[in-house]
Structure 1
């Protein structure tokens, strides 16, 4: 090792894929918690490559280690789970993004909140647009329920270019049957 260099301990990310009613989910964890949960935005391999580049950590498939994540997702889509118990690893996110996502995680099942309301809860009342950016760029869908964040006029807005998925998730949480694709 060259003089004055520091050794950085690199963890290995673990991942799995699972089929859900809204597409194939890619779940990625670190030793601290869930790093990413992405749905059908391309091939799972390309999504994994993006996450590995962002986190700068290698990844290994580990279906067994991620079984609890898959079970909680299955329970959610079956209407049996209202809150996820999965630890999150939000390392690398900007402080306000982290605060906004934590505020979003507290929106009750079946309810919605406006971008401005989330901004207030996150400690930045004038940052409604930044909340929108945090929602659009969240690495963790569904477990962080960004689908519960709506525009000030109550309209749904986008959901990663898939507003029909946002409608379906909100309908699922409202107890409307047969809404998932």
Structure 2
């Protein structure tokens, strides 16, 4: 596993890759992290994260390979990747989508255990009524990520291409 650190609008952000894909991410600087690579999966992850934070990328294509998590957690993480860029769902809505309508709190736990934040967009899950509650990276980071996506989505919807 190789950690790489990027400077982003939400502070230092570290991403871990192995030969199969992205296997972890962390808000902050991981001590063993290297500067940005330019090759392979690491290079793709860094390039896509930079483009995302610049408002140029709305969907990640870098492979994600996470070898841990319960079946429920993995179902929640898969569902997170289906939430469209610039949109949000509530914990309850995600629970219903994964087939357990009473598991909103368990969805929150799965969000907190998300090993690949930003790429697997747990920041797109909000509390009932759209309230901003809980985020492993802190609510200010969640707000920044949601504002970034909302701004890009609005510009793309309102401004002609070109």
| Cα pair 2:6 2:35 within 8 Å, conserved | no
Q: Secondary structure at the match of 2:151?
A: coil
2:140 pairs, out of 164, 167, 177, with 164
Whether 1:37 and 2:25 are equivalent positions in the alignment is: yes
4+ long deviations beyond 6 Å: none
Q: Secondary structure at the match of 1:171?
A: helix
RMSD over equivalenced CA pairs, Å: 2.0
Spell out, residue by residue over 1:61-116, the C-alpha distance to the aligned partner (whole angstroms, 9 max, x if none).
Answer: 88233111111011111111111001111212111000001001100011000001
1:113 pairs, out of 89, 97, 120, with 89
2:74 pairs, out of 98, 107, 115, with 98
**How far is 1:147 from its partner?**
0.6
CA–CA distance in 2 between the matches of 1:90 and 1:119?
21
| Cα pair 2:4 2:16 within 8 Å, conserved | yes
Task: State which drifts further: 62-71 or 134-143.
Answer: 62-71
Q: Secondary structure at the match of 1:175?
A: helix
2:16 pairs, out of 19, 24, 28, with 28
Unaligned runs of 5+ in 1: 1-12, 49-59, 177-181
Equivalent residue for 2:157?
A: none
TM-score normalized by the length of structure 1: 0.76
CA–CA distance in 2 between the matches of 1:30 and 1:120?
33
Equivalent residue for 1:122?
A: 98
Unaligned runs of 5+ in 2: 153-162
Residues 1-181 of structure 1 mapped to structure 2, 5 A cutoff: 13-40=1-28, 43-45=29-31, 63=37, 64-65=39-40, 66-160=42-136, 162-175=138-151
CA–CA distance in 1 between the matches of 2:7 and 2:86?
23
More helix, by proportion: 2
